[in-house]
Structures are given as structure tokens and as C-alpha cells.
């Protein structure tokens, strides 16, 4: 990988400094643009910087945060409203250091805390690609942040605590494939932006990387990628992991909610080698040991009543797809028995799944996914709690019962 990248960099340097008439390697320039397009997908720049029904890369997509709403920027090569006047150095400074060309601080909603790991050559390829797309004249929508968060100087504090600048350093003790996977997951993939605990300051710390956390505003739990009791993939086959990342469904489970978006907008476009590299890395970081499940807060008689009601609800509404023994008809109707994503300590995801239903993303590998109906209108809080308690504890699953109050609270979770 290394040598290929440095060649690409030399070619790009020639391309950007030489006058177009003297350029003798148009194919290589096109290769770099194509590579930049691929990397922009891997980093999900494309979807975040494009509004629904909006022009490609013209920005304006709303990002709700606990501090107010941010709007993504126009990164088309329009000189006045986009980044048409930026040099490759300016662009690298944004990716690597989280600063505007004039040194101004960028909000960490733009995932520069991960992109800082991206190599200069990859940054330059993305830059070359962004210069090749159609410029769109569209002014950036001003952010709507509450006082005092509208003051960009506050970002300094955040940076001191949570930002460590620096390109990815391969681990010489690991294989090239593992290192490629690590580069993608920690860098462009910005998986840690969701899969790490988010503290009160809206930051994720290095030591907690990939330990899982509740995504603020969205009320989805992004499971730990290191614990096998959550989304740690230690006992998954490489094929099941690559299926999940590339198509959104697998024999072990499916993606949904924000993770469906990641697969839809980004991961489905990665080639087989890169997907495999990510799978190898993800399987590698899973730790065997994990704390035992927390004891339930519900008294036993109450929870056994709940669970017998849960079985009734399950047999009536769920078994037709997920099977009487939770075996499902995978990959399209996922198994619920031995499915980590239901057994996790946080019951937010299975409760929301039952309330809202869902479709896995439509992908190249699974263009017409099967769906699950929402049950919010059909089942009471008590029935939802009962059926979720049942699937978390039946068939050898090791989750804990949930209460009607938890189910009720998630009825108002935002749906987008």
C-alpha cells in the first residue's frame, strides 16, 4: 500500500503544479480523481455534505447536536461559496488539524478527529476529486447554535481534551491487511465518532475508543466494537462480517438505524480487499473478557409475568418472521437467538427496533431488503416491554428484562 500511495502523491504533485498543456499523464490524473471519489465515499463526505434532494457536495445538510443545529458546508469548487480558492495545503489543514485556511477552528461534528489519521496522499486525492466536480453557487447556511456554543473559541477546550493530531502509524507487529483495516476504521471510516462513549462535553476520549456509547440526540446505542457481549466480532466469521459491512445483512444479524446509514452511504462502496481488511481488524480488536450482565432491577415474580406475556406477544406478532425458536430466516429475517445486538446491557436498540420497525439499507449486494413493521401503534408500553424482555432472555439469550417506562420513553425518540 505504502509504495502505491507515494507514487500517487508524486503524480498528483506533478499534476497540480504543471500547466495542463504539459501534463503528460492524464490517465494517472484521472486515476487519482477516481481514487479520491472512492475515498470520499469511504469517509462519507458525500452524504454528509449533500442535503436531501440537494446538489452533490453543496452542503446544507442539518446535523442536530445537543448544542443546536449545525449545517454542513458547500465543498464544491465554487470560488465564492465553496472551496474553489483552497489549495491542497489548505485542504489538508482542515482534514489533519481541524482548522480553516485562516487558522479558524472547525466544529468537531466534521470528523477531523478521525480524519487526522488520513495520509497526505489520500487527502490530496480527495482534494483532486472535489476539484473535478461541478461547482455549485450556494451560500453556507449559518449554524443555529445556542449561546455560548456559538463561540468557536470553546472548541479549543474540546481540542485540548479530545483531539490528538497525527497521521496513522502502522503497527509493525501486525499484518499489512490488519493495518489497512485499522487505517480505514480509525481514519476515514470515523467509526469511533459513534462507537465510543460520548461524555458530557460531546467528546470521545482515546482510551475509550470503540467502547460503545449512546449517540446524543438520536437515542440509538452504538455498541462497543471491542466487547463480544456487544458488537465485538471476535466469534464472527470473516464472511459474516464482510457481508454485514458490504450488504447490511448477514447470517448473524443486520444493521439498522444510524448504522444502516453508514452502510448505505459509505461501506457498500468499498472494494472487497478493503472490506476484508476492516473485517480482519474488527475481529482482531474484540476482547474475550467481558463483565457479566447487570442484575435486573425488576423483582423476579414481576419479571416472570412480564416474560410470559412477552411470549404471547412474540408468538402472535413476531414468530412468523423470526421463528418460534428465534432462529429467523437469515440473512433477511435476522435470528434473535444468540444475537448480541439484543442482549447488550443497553436495551435501547431492541426497544426502538420493535417501536419503529425498519428496513436494512438497499445495497448493491442486497438491493431489495425485507422489512419489519413498526409496532408503536399496535402494542402498549407493557406489551413492548414484555416482548423485548422475552427476546432478551429466551433461547439462552443473556440479556435482562426491561420496564414499560423504558419503552414509553423511547416512543418520543426522533425518527431521523
Partner 1 sequence: MFARAATPVAVIITLAAFDGAAAQTASQPPDTMAARVEACTPCHGNKGEGTSDVYFPRLAGKPAGYLYNQLLAFRSGRRKYPPMNYLLEFLPDPYLEAMAEYFAGQHPPLPQPAPSEVSKDVLALGEQLATSGDAGRNIPACVSCHGPGLAGMQPGIPGLLGLRAPYISAQLGAWRYGTRTAKSPDCMQQVAGHLTEADVTAVSAWLATRPAPANPAPVPKGTYALPFGCGSQPN
Footprint on residues 55-114 left by partner 1 (CB under 8 A): none
| 131 interface partner picked from ligand HEC, partner 1, none, CB below 5 to 8 A per type | none
User: Cell digits for 198?
Assistant: 460520548
Question: Residue 98's closest CA among 160, 16, 5?
Answer: 160
Specify the residue, 33 or 342, whose C-beta has the smaller distance to ligand HEC: 342
- The values of phi and psi at residue 68, to 5°, are 130, -170
Residues 326-365 that bind ligand HEC (CB under 6 A): 333-334, 336, 339-342, 349-350, 353-354, 358-360
Q: What is the CA radius of gyration of the chain?
A: 23
Instruction: Count Cβ atoms below 10 Å from residue 58 Cβ, excluding itself.
Output: 26
Please identify, using beta-carbon distances, which residue of 33 and 318 lies nearer to ligand HEC. 318
What does the block give as the cell for 16?
Answer: 497540480
Among 330, 334, 350, 399, binds partner 1 (CB under 8 A): 330
CB 37 within 8 A of CB 266: no
Among 32, 198, 255, 344, binds ligand HEC (CB under 6 A): 255
Q: How far is the CB of 322 from ligand HEC (least distance, A)?
A: 5
Shortest approach of ligand HEC to residue 160 CB, angstroms?
17
Contact partner, 286, from ligand HEC, partner 1, none, Cβ < 5-8 Å per class: none
Of these partners, partner 1, ligand HEC, none, which one is at the site of residue 368 (CB under 5 to 8 Å by kind)? partner 1
Q: For ligand HEC, which stretch binds (CB under 6 A), given 4-12, 42-50, 288-296, 396-404?
A: 42-50
Q: Quickly tell me which residue has 428465534 as its cell.
A: 326
Partner from partner 1, ligand HEC, none binding residue 386, C-beta < 5-8 Å depending on class: none
Query: How many residues at the interface with ligand HEC, by CB under 6 A?
Result: 74
Cβ proximity of 36 and 46 under 8 Å: no
In the numeric block, the cell 462519507 is attached to 44
Q: Nearest 10 degrees: CA dihedral of 222, 223, 226, 230?
A: -170
Residue 258 CA to residue 63 CA, distance in Å, equals 13
Binds ligand HEC by CB under 6 A, chosen from 1, 14, 62, 63? 63
Single residue of 133, 262, 298, 344 touching ligand HEC by CB under 6 A: 262
- In sequence order, what are the residues at sequence separation of 6 or more whose Cβ sits closer than 8 angstroms to the Cβ of residue 67? 145, 146, 149, 202
Q: Work out how close the CB of 115 gets to partner 1 at its nearest, in angstroms, rounded to a whole number.
A: 24
Q: Is 299 left (phi over 0), alpha (psi -120 to 50) or beta?
A: beta
Chain residues 205-264 in contact with partner 1, contact rule CB under 8 A: 239-240, 243, 251, 260-261, 264
Q: Is 284 in the site for partner 1 (CB under 8 A)?
A: no
Give me the least distance between CB of 170 and partner 1, in Å please.
32
Single residue of 8, 32, 110, 298 touching ligand HEC by CB under 6 A: 110
Write down the least CB distance from residue 81 to ligand HEC, Å: 9
Of the candidate residues 372, 402, 407, 410, the single one contacting ligand HEC (CB under 6 A): 372
What is the rounded CA–CA span in Å between residue 365 and residue 127? 29
Applying CB under 8 A, does 19 fall inside the site for partner 1? no
Q: What is the DSSP letter of 274?
A: H
Residues numbered 348 to 367 that lie near partner 1 (CB under 8 A) are 356-362, 367
Stretch that binds ligand HEC, among 13-21, 22-30, 69-77, 165-173 (CB under 6 A): 69-77
Q: Which helix (H) or strand (E) holds 321?
A: helix 319-322
Separation in Å, CA 323 to CA 50, 218, 292, 319, 333: 40, 30, 28, 4, 9
Site string for partner 1, 261-280 (x = CB under 8 A): x--x----------------
- Which range, of 10-18, 24-32, 319-327, 408-416, touches ligand HEC by CB under 6 A? 319-327
DSSP result, 215-247: ETTTTEEE--SSBTTTT--TTS-HHHHHHHHHH
The three three-digit cell numbers of residue 71, written as one number: 449545517
What share of residues in the chain are helix, strand, coil (percent, to 5)? 45, 5, 50
Give the three-state DSSP class for 64: strand
Residues of this chain that interact with partner 1 (CB under 8 A) are 52-53, 239-240, 243, 251, 260-261, 264, 321, 323-333, 337, 356-362, 367-374, 376-378, 415-416
Amino acid at each position: 500500500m505504502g509504495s502505491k500511495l507515494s507514487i500517487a502523491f508524486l503524480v498528483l504533485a506533478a499534476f497540480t503544479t504543471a500547466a495542463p498543456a504539459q501534463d503528460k499523464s492524464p490517465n494517472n490524473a484521472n486515476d487519482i480523481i477516481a481514487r479520491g471519489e472512492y475515498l470520499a465515499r469511504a469517509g462519507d463526505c458525500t452524504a454528509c455534505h449533500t442535503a436531501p434532494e440537494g446538489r452533490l457536495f453543496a452542503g446544507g445538510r442539518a446535523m442536530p447536536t445537543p448544542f443546536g443545529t449545525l449545517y454542513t458546508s458547500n465543498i464544491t469548487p465554487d470560488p465564492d461559496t465553496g472551496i474553489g480558492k483552497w489549495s491542497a495545503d489548505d485542504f489538508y489543514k482542515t482534514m489533519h488539524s481541524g482548522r480553516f485556511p485562516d487558522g479558524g477552528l472547525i466544529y468537531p461534528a466534521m470528523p477531523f478527529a478521525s480524519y487526522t489519521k488520513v495520509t497526505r496522499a489520500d487527502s490530496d486525492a480527495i482534494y483532486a476529486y472535489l476539484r473535478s466536480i461541478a461547482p455549485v453557487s450556494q451560500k453556507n447556511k449559518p449554524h443555529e447554535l445556542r449561546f455560548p456554543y456559538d463561540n468557536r473559541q470553546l472548541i479549543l477546550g474540546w481540542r485540548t481534551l479530545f483531539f490528538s493530531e497525527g497521521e496513522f502509524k502502522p503497527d509493525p507487529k501486525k499484518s499489512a491487511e490488519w493495518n489497512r483495516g485499522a487505517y480505514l476504521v480509525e481514519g476515514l471510516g470515523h467509526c469511533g465518532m459513534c462507537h465510543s462513549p460520548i461524555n458530557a462535553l460531546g467528546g470521545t476520549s482515546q482510551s475509550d475508543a470503540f467502547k460503545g456509547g449512546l449517540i446524543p440526540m438520536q437515542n440509538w446505542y452504538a455498541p462497543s466494537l471491542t466487547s463480544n457481549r456487544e458488537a465485538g466480532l471476535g466469534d464472527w466469521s470473516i464472511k459474516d462480517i464482510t457481508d454485514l459491512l458490504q450488504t447490511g445483512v448477514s447470517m448473524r444479524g443486520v444493521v439498522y438505524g444510524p448504522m444502516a446509514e453508514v452502510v448505505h452511504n459509505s461501506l457498500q462502496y468499498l472494494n472487497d480487499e478493503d472490506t476484508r481488511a476492516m473485517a480482519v481488524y474488527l475481529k482482531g480488536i474484540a476482547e474475550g473478557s467481558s463483565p457479566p450482565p447487570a442484575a435486573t432491577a425488576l423483582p423476579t415474580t414481576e419479571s416472570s409475568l412480564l416474560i410470559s406475556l412477552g411470549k404471547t406477544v412474540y408468538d402472535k406478532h413476531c414468530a412468523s418472521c423470526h421463528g418460534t425458536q428465534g432462529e429467523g430466516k437469515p440473512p433477511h429475517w435476522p435470528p434473535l437467538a444468540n444475537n448480541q445486538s439484543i442482549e447488550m446491557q443497553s436495551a435501547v436498540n431492541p426497544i426502538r427496533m420493535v417501536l419503529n420497525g425498519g428496513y436494512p439499507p438497499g445495497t448493491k449486494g442486497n438491493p431489495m431488503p425485507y422489512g419489519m413493521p413498526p409496532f408503536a401503534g399496535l402494542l402498549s408500553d407493557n406489551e413492548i416491554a414484555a416482548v423485548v424482555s422475552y427476546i432478551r432472555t429466551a433461547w439462552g439469550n443473556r440479556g435482562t428484562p426491561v420496564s414499560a417506562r423504558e419503552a414509553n420513553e423511547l416512543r418520543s425518540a426522533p425518527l431521523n
